Structure 1
Amino acid sequence: MSVLSVSSGPTAVPVFISDFGTAFEGVARVHGWSDFRGVAGEGARSGMTGGVLLGYFENGGGRCYLANTAGKTVREALTEVEAFDDVTILVPLGLWDDGANARETARAVTAYAAAHRAMAILHADRDCDARQARGAVRGFKLDADQSSHAALYHPWLIPSGDGAQPVPPVGAVAGVWCQVDDKRGVWKTPANVTVSGDVRPFQAVTETEMGEVQPVGVLRESPGQGTLVWGTRTLNEGDERWKYIPVRRLADTVERDLQKAFVFATFEPNTQPTWEKLRSQADAYLLSLWKLGGLQGAKPEEAYSVQIGQGVTMTEEDVKAGRIVMKVGLAAVRPAEFIPATVTVTVAAERA
C-alpha cells in the first residue's frame, strides 16, 4: 500500500467573489494587500471591494483568491473556483448590488459551500437594521445543508475619516476567522475578537436586538475594546449539531483532511488489512487533534471514534463495488455530543 498519512490542510482560505471588470479573467490568487492592488482594477482598489479586502488583510487574512464575475453569473464564476481545492471560505461581495438577485446569489454560494465542505460568509444590505438582517436570512430560503454552511454578519463597517463610506463587514470577519484559526485552531469560536483597522459599526445594535436577531452575527462597539465580532452561529436553526460555526468547520476540516489522505487507497484491495491501515492513520490524526485541544474528553475514547469494516460501515454490496466507508465521531467542544463525519473512497475494481 502507498504510504498513508493524514495531515492538516489549510482551514481558512477565502475566495472573494465580485465584479473586477477587465482587471483579470477567471480566478486570481493574491497573497497580501500590495499583491491585491497589483491584480485588481483601479475601481476595485479604491471602492467597496478594496475596503473589504483591506479589512481582510488588516485582520489577519493571508492567501486568498479573487473570482471575477464580470460578464458571467455567480454560478459560472463558481465553476472556475472548482480548480482551487484549498478554498474553504466563500465571500460574495456583490450580494446586494441587485437586491432582486440576492436570494439567488446566496443560494448559489451556500450550495457550493455545502458541496465542498466550505463556509459562506454573507452580509445584509447596507441600510438594513438588525431585525431586517434577520429577515434577510429567512428571505434566502436556504435548505438545512446550505444554512449549516453559512453565516451572516451585520452591520456594515465605516472607516474613520471624513467622507469615508461604509463597507460590508465580511472582509474583516474573514480575516478574524483566519487569525483565530492560525493562533488557536479551527475549533475556536471566532468571536469576542477586536476588529483592527480603526473602523466602527455603521449602525448600533442594542442589547435587546442582540437577543432577537440570532443567528445573525453582530459587530458592536465595546468601551475600551473597540469594535468586537459577536456571534458564533451558522444560519441553521433546526439542527443542534450544526448550530455553531466552529463545530461545522471542524467537522468539514476533518472530512477534507481524511478524504485527501485516503486517495492513496484508491488502488488497494478492499480488504481488512487496507481498512485497518486507514483506521490506524485516522486514529493518529484525531489523537493529534485532541492533544491540540480541538476535541473535548478526558481521554481519546471520549474525544472521538473511528469505525470501518464490513457489517459496520459497509455492506457486502459496498465491498463488491469497491467502496470503502469510514465513519468518524467527534466530541466537538460545543455542543457536548459526538458529531458525525463520513469519508468514502472507491478503490479500483480490479484490485477489490
Structure 2
Amino acid sequence: MLGIDQGGIEATRFANHRPVPTATYSSGDVNVWARLLQLDTAGTPAHDLRSITFSGAPSPATVTFGDAATNVLQTTTTAGDRWFKDALSSAVNNHSDGVREKLQILAKAINDKPDAPVTAEVWGYRIAFKPKVGMLNTSYGIGSTASENLAASFTANVRQYALGNIGTGSFQNGAGQVGGDDDGTPLTVADYTGSALDHTGFHALDRVDLFNLMVLPRDEDIDEAEYQQLFGPASIYCESRRAFLLLDAPTSWTNGEKMDADAAKVNSLRAGVVKQNSAIFYPRVKISDAGFIKSIGPSGMLAGLLARTDSQRGVWKAPAGIEADTRGVLDVELNLTDNENGVLNKLGVNCIRKFPNGIVNWGARTLDGSDDFGSEWKYIPIRRLALFLEESLFRGTKWVVFEPNDEPLWAKIRMNVGAFMLSQFRQGAFQGSTPDKAFFVKCDGETTTANDRNLGIVNIQVGFAPLKPAEFVVISIQQIPDIV
C-alpha cells in the first residue's frame, strides 16, 4: 500500500488491476467470496469449503482441507474458529468485510500442503493459483465441494506463452468480463468501413473539417488477406475527401532475407483500389519499443515524412531522396539492392532504402505509377498538388455562391483564383519561366453556358504545369583523344 507517491511502483488500491502471472485467477464478483463466508440466520455457515480440485494438474489434483470433523476451514462457529470469526453475520447484506483475511487463510492452507499442485497468492480481494510444474502456458481449471459455484469465478490466465508445441493456453478475458464489458475482438472490415448514417468506421471522419493523409497500420490480430480488403473502401473514401492513402506492403512480400514480390502480386493488390489516390511502401522498418526491436509497416513513418516535406519544401516536392531521411528508425527488414528497387519502382511500389548516410524513402509513385500505365497521376507530389489545389480552390470560392452569375462575377473569380495560382507559382509549385506558361484560369461565357446559368452552375477551369521529380540521373562519359 505504499503507492507511487511514496516511492512504490503501484498506484494505491490498484492491486486488483495488477496483471496476474500464468495462473488460475479469481476474476469474478467479490461477493462470491462474501457469500461463501456468510452465516445463515441461525449463526451456522451457509456454505462450507472442504476441498478444491485443480483439473489437469498432476496427482494429487485435489487439495482437501481435512475431513468432515476436522476441516481446516472449519464449518462451526466456535470461539477459536478463525475461518468465520470476522465473516458476515447477516444473511441479507452481502458486505465483503473479512474477505481478504479469509483468502489469506485459504492461501496458507494450500501453501502449507507440500503435495499441493499449486501455490496461492492473494492480491486484494482476489486469489491466484500458480502451477508448481509445467510449461509457461500451463494453467488449471477449478472445482470445489462448496455449494457456492467457485469455478465460474475463476479464469485461466496466460501472461506469456512457451515457444514450440509444448502445450496450449488461453488468454484471460478482458477486464470487467463478468459485467459484460471486455477487451473485444479484432476489428473486422465492417468495423473499418462503418456506416455513413452512424458516422462509424471511416465515416467518423465525416465530421472532421479537413484531413489529407490516411494511414491504416495493420493489427497483428487481423489476417493479411482481410487487411487488404480495406484498401479499396479506404481509397474510395479518400477520393471522396480529396485525401491520399498510404499503405503498407504485405508481409508476405518478404521471405526471410529475400524479396518475394513480383508484378502479379502487385497487380493483385491494387485491383479495386483508387490507384491515383494511393501509394504503397516496402519493406517494413525496425524500431525500438522500450528496448525491444520490432518490425512495423512504414506508412505511419511516411505520413510524418510527407508532413515534414510539405512544411519545409511544399506539397509539390517529392517526399523521397537523400533528404527524405527517416527518424527513429533503426533498420529496414530487408536491405534491397538497386536491381530489386528497380523492379518494384517500375511497378509503382516505393522502397525504403538503407544507404551509408541513413535510411531514406527512395520512391514517389502512386499505385497508378506503373510504367505500363502511362498515367498523368504517376507521381505522388503531382497528385497531392492537384488535390491541394482542388481543395484550396473549393474552399476559396465559396463566396461565389448566390452571387449574380454573369461577367462581373466571372472577372472576380479569374482575379481571385489567378492571384492564388500566382502565389503558388512564385513558391516554385509549377514549371515554366512565366505565369502564362505555368498555369491558366478560365471562367467566362464559354465555360459557363446559358444552360449552366439556368441550372445555377458556374464552371471554373484551372490548369497547371506540374514539376515532375527526377527519378533517374543519366551521366554520359566520353573519352577525348589526346591531341599531339
**Fold conserved (TM > 0.5)?**
yes
Q: Cα offset for 1:131?
A: 4.5
Map of 1:278 onto structure 2: 413
3-state SS, counterpart of residue 82 of structure 1: helix
Q: Cα offset for 1:100?
A: 2.6
Map of 1:121 onto structure 2: 246
Map of 2:282 onto structure 1: 154
Bigger mean CA deviation after superposition, 155-164 or 318-327: 155-164
Map of 2:36 onto structure 1: none
Q: Cα offset for 1:204?
A: 1.5
Contact 1:232–1:246 under 8 Å retained in 2 = yes
Contact 2:320–2:364 under 8 Å retained in 1 = yes
Structure 2 regions of 5+ residues with no counterpart?
A: 1-185, 195-200, 471-484
> 1:72-221 to 2 correspondence within 5 Å?
73-76=191-194, 77-94=201-218, 97-129=222-254, 130-132=259-261, 135-142=264-271, 146-160=274-288, 163-192=292-321, 193-214=324-345, 215-221=348-354
Contact 1:131–1:212 under 8 Å retained in 2 = no
Q: Cα offset for 1:245?
A: 0.3
Map of 2:355 onto structure 1: 222
CA gap of 1:231–1:335, structure 2 versus 1, over 3 A, is closer
Given the alignment, which residue of 455, 461, 464 partners 1:327? 461
Task: Work out the CA distance in 2 between the residues paired with 1:189 and 1:120.
Answer: 15
Task: Work out the CA distance in 2 between the residues paired with 1:133 and 1:125.
Answer: 12
Map of 1:245 onto structure 2: 380
Q: Cα offset for 1:335?
A: 7.5
State the identity as a percent: 28
> Alpha-carbon deviations, 1:118-152, whole Å to 9, x = none?
110001123423452765432234458x1000000
Q: Cα offset for 1:70?
A: 5.3
Task: Work out the CA distance in 1 between the residues paired with 2:243 and 2:191.
Answer: 20
Q: Which amino acid aligns with 1:283?
A: G
Task: Work out the CA distance in 2 between the residues paired with 1:335 and 1:271.
Answer: 40
Contact 2:285–2:329 under 8 Å retained in 1 = no
1:292 aligns with 2:417: no
- TM-score relative to the length of structure 2: 0.52
Task: Work out the CA distance in 1 between the residues paired with 2:262 and 2:308.
Answer: 26
CA RMSD, Structure 1 to Structure 2 (Å): 2.2
CA gap of 1:90–1:271, structure 2 versus 1, over 3 A, is same
CA gap of 1:134–1:218, structure 2 versus 1, over 3 A, is farther
Contact 1:103–1:139 under 8 Å retained in 2 = no
> 1:55-74 to 2 correspondence within 5 Å?
73-74=191-192
Contact 2:252–2:260 under 8 Å retained in 1 = no
Q: Which amino acid aligns with 1:109?
A: A
> Alpha-carbon deviations, 1:72-131, whole Å to 9, x = none?
521111111111131101111127722232332000111111222111000112342345
Task: Work out the CA distance in 1 between the residues paired with 2:208 and 2:467.
Answer: 30
Q: Which amino acid aligns with 1:326?
A: I
3-state SS, counterpart of residue 278 of structure 1: helix
Task: Work out the CA distance in 2 between the residues paired with 1:105 and 1:321.
Answer: 38
Structure 1 regions of 5+ residues with no counterpart?
A: 1-68, 337-352
> Alpha-carbon deviations, 1:41-71, whole Å to 9, x = none?
xxxxxxxxxxxxxxxxxxxxxxxxxxxx958
Contact 2:382–2:467 under 8 Å retained in 1 = yes
> Alpha-carbon deviations, 1:155-196, whole Å to 9, x = none?
111125864110111111111000000000000010011111
Bigger mean CA deviation after superposition, 153-162 or 108-117: 153-162
Bigger mean CA deviation after superposition, 124-133 or 235-244: 124-133
Map of 1:348 onto structure 2: none
Task: Work out the CA distance in 2 between the residues paired with 1:324 and 1:143.
Answer: 33
3-state SS, counterpart of residue 428 of structure 2: coil
Bigger mean CA deviation after superposition, 314-323 or 284-293: 314-323
1:268 aligns with 2:373: no
CA gap of 1:142–1:324, structure 2 versus 1, over 3 A, is farther
Map of 2:52 onto structure 1: none
Q: Cα offset for 1:239?
A: 4.1
Contact 1:294–1:332 under 8 Å retained in 2 = yes
Contact 1:194–1:229 under 8 Å retained in 2 = yes
By percentage of residues, which structure has more helix? Answer: 1
Q: Cα offset for 1:292?
A: 0.4
3-state SS, counterpart of residue 251 of structure 2: coil
Task: Work out the CA distance in 2 between the residues paired with 1:176 and 1:212.
Answer: 24
CA gap of 1:95–1:150, structure 2 versus 1, over 3 A, is farther
CA gap of 1:269–1:219, structure 2 versus 1, over 3 A, is same
3-state SS, counterpart of residue 164 of structure 1: strand
CA gap of 1:95–1:117, structure 2 versus 1, over 3 A, is farther
Task: Work out the CA distance in 2 between the residues paired with 1:120 and 1:106.
Answer: 9
Task: Work out the CA distance in 2 between the residues paired with 1:118 and 1:133.
Answer: 28
> Alpha-carbon deviations, 1:180-231, whole Å to 9, x = none?
00000000010011111142101121211111112111111101x1111110
3-state SS, counterpart of residue 328 of structure 1: strand
- TM-score relative to the length of structure 1: 0.70
Contact 2:288–2:294 under 8 Å retained in 1 = no
The count of residues paired between Structure 1 and Structure 2 equals: 265
3-state SS, counterpart of residue 320 of structure 2: coil
